[in-house]
Amino acid sequence: MAAEILDIAFAPFILPTSGALVLLIAEDTEPGEAQHAADAATQGAVSRALEAGEFKGRKGQSCIMLAPGAGLSRIVAIGLGKMAELTPHAVEEAGGRAAGAVQRDKHAAVAGALAPCQMAGLAMGAALRCYRFDRYRTKEKAEDKPRLATLHVLCAEPAAAKLAFAPLKAVVEGVFVARDLVSEPGNILTPTAMADRCEKLESLGLKIEILGPKELAKLGFGALLGVSQGSAQEPRVVVMQWMGASSGEKGKGKKKSHPAPIAFIGKGVTFDTGGISIKPAGGMEDMKWDMAGAGAVVGLMAALAGRRAKVDAIGIVGLVENMPSGTAQRPGDVVTTYSGQTVEIINTDAEGRMVLADVLWYCQERFAPKFMIDLATLTGAMIISLGHEYGGMFSNDDELAAQLFAAGTASGEKLWRMPLGEAYDKMLKSEIADMKHVGGRPGGAISAAQFIQRFVNGCKWAHLDIAGMVWTTKDAPCVPKGATAYGVRLLDRFVADHYEN
């Protein structure tokens, strides 16, 4: 289903005689075996180039040597910084920089004196950097395409590194699932098509249930159905279950009680015109990625199942298309949500919170999870607040917020906690319904979170407004230009650190 992952081969260090070689060099260590061997084979060209380029091994520093000799097309030195400050994420970024530097080479190898788990992390970063969405390019010239098919990771303990890479590869695959979904155009990735793609993940061991319009109407998903009523595309809600903790006890005789599952909910507006409150034409093409919260949840569930995570997790995504038409929802309408609460519609472009309202209450009522985390490209106000550096986090539980913040820092998908409060909640007072769903421009991301909190029903909860993080217009070490799949690695790290048995 997902884009093809770069082939990674782990092997003991032997100096290549062709292709490209990447040397990982720390700021505060003596040259290692690979650097010495490359320098000797090139009659000192490596040392001379590093000296001329004032290469010191600082984090993010690089030096490229073209046609250095010994049959090599190029040698690339990548700085790691100080070894004491070398975090797993920094290693992954080094791997991404390495892969980015040699994508034009048919053969390439990377060598460094790092521990097996670090070399596995390096391979993960390289694989993430080599993502490419090109299924609709029919006339691309061969010389414009990346040539790198296999990256040889040369290290002291290749077998151990390969073993450590196996679960990381499953996470990369989950990231690619999400990036593919977010990259697809709206005419291809309708709610029905996205639900069908979710269903294919049953091959990983996920239990998939799809609710269509008839089931949703019978259940009373008035908020979600209101968003979709202007579109010719039918809505879907997809329920994904991964019982990686409790399933391990099957067939062992005595039944054991297990803690409540953890739950992840995603906003999946496969295209958002704004509805009757239509958006400006400029930039509307970007609204194909208004389902990126749902894409992250799908990618996360694929990652957890792919690496056989020992956790019971629920993933639910609400999938709709928001279109203007003669049947579209109007500003001023009042809808009855799944919870029974009524909502006055103020702006039909504030549709994502309505999707989440029904799905969150349904999740809490059906599964009674330990906590719920929702992800949504919810507000432009969040981009104004945090730019494209942090996702916004709102939570009713300090411990949950602290765990998410730490996982964001560790994974490089950073979060910043935003406030909640009664003053913001008062902004949602309606004259004719239980509440209105928009509180105005001031503190718009906060009042949106306050609205969502009204449908949490007492469960521990965090809301991640990721509007500024799901698409990038420039390459980063582990993220090429385009869909980022922000949230997949963050939440996988969060689960691995705190909720696996």
The more confidently predicted of residues 149 and 205 is: 205
Determine, yes or no, domain membership for 300.
yes
| Catalytic residue from among 74, 353, 454, 489 | 353
Instruction: Specify whether 136 is located in the same domain as 238.
Output: no
* Whether 196 and 131 share a structural domain: no
* Domain-embedded: residue 1: no
CA proximity to 469, closest of 351, 350, 353, 389: 389
What is the tally of helices (H) and strands (E) in the chain? 15, 19
417 is catalytic: no
Residue 1 confidence (pLDDT) above 80:
no
Closest to 137 measured CA to CA, from 241, 3, 248, 262: 3
pLDDT of 138 > 90? The answer is no
In the chain, what's the furthest Cα-to-Cα distance? Answer: 82
**393 and 469 fall within a common domain:** yes
Residue 252 is among the residues annotated as catalytic for this protein = no
Of 133, 157, 181, which residue sits at a domain end?
A: 157
If asked whether residues 416 and 462 sit together in one domain, one would say yes
pTM of the complete model beyond 0.85 = yes
Average pLDDT, the chain: 95
- Please check whether residues 257 and 199 belong to one and the same domain: yes
CA distance 444 to 449: 9
Tally Cβ neighbours within 10 Å of residue 151.
Answer: 27
Structure tokens at 167: 């679960």
For residue 59, what are the contacts with CB-CB under 8 A and spacing of at least 6?
A: 27, 79, 80, 81, 82, 85, 90
Domain shared by 408 and 486, yes or no: yes
- Mean pLDDT, to the nearest integer, of 226-243? 98
Q: Which two tokens stand for residue 36?
A: 């010495």
pLDDT at position 248:
62
Mean pLDDT of 140-164: 91
Residues 6+ apart with CB under 8 A from 220: 336, 337, 338, 340
Same domain for 126 and 182: no
- In this prediction, residue 145 carries a pLDDT of 82
* Number of structural domains in the chain: 2
**Domain hosting residue 407, numbered range:** 170-498
Is residue 138, in this structure, part of any structural domain at all?
A: yes
What pLDDT is recorded for position 3? 75
Flag whether 314 is in a domain. Answer: yes
Select from 135, 157, 179 the last residue of a domain: 157
The pLDDT, as a whole number, for residue 146 is 85
The reply to whether 2 falls in a domain is: no
Q: Is the pLDDT of residue 257 over 70?
A: no
Q: Does 74 share its domain with 181?
A: no
Residue 143 has pLDDT above 80, yes or no: no
Residue among 269, 285, 266, 373 at smallest CA distance from 321: 269
Find the mean pLDDT for residues 35-64. Answer: 94
Q: Quick check: is 315 in a domain?
A: yes
Mean pLDDT of 168-173: 98
Confidence check: pLDDT of 65 > 90: yes
- The residue among 157, 192, 211 that closes a domain is 157
3-class SS of residue 155: coil
CATH number at residue 133: 3.40.220.10
Residues 138, 219, single domain; the answer is no
pLDDT grade for 85, boundaries at 50, 70 and 90: very high
Question: In this structure, what are the phi and psi dihedrals at residue 47, rounded to the nearest 5 degrees?
Answer: -60, -40
* Residues 251, 382 share a domain: yes
Residue 259 is predicted with a pLDDT of 84
Residue 205 has pLDDT above 80, yes or no: yes
Which pLDDT value is given to residue 444?
A: 96
pLDDT category of residue 6 using cuts at 50, 70 and 90: very high
Q: How does pLDDT run across 280-339, given as a tens digit for each residue?
A: 999 999 999 999 999 999 999 999 999 999 999 999 999 999 999 999 999 999 999 999
20 and 74 co-located in one domain: yes
Which listed residue (56, 279, 310, 370) is catalytic? 279
Q: What's the pLDDT score for residue 4?
A: 86
The enclosing domain of 266 has a CATH number of 3.40.630.10
Give me the mean pLDDT over the 177-205 stretch.
98
Does residue 163 lie within any of the structural domains? no
Residue 164 within any structural domain of the chain:
no
- pLDDT value at residue 255: 54
The predicted pLDDT at position 122 comes to 98
> What per-residue string of b and e applies to 226-246 under the rule 16 or more CB within 10 Å gives b?
bbbbbbebbbbbbbbbbbbbb
The per-residue DSSP string of 350-374 comes to: --HHHHHHHHHHHHHHHH--SEEEE
Tens digit of each residue's pLDDT (9 = 90 or more) over 362-417? 999 999 999 999 999 999 999 999 999 999 999 999 999 999 999 999 999 999 99
Verify that 134 and 219 share a domain, yes or no.
Answer: no
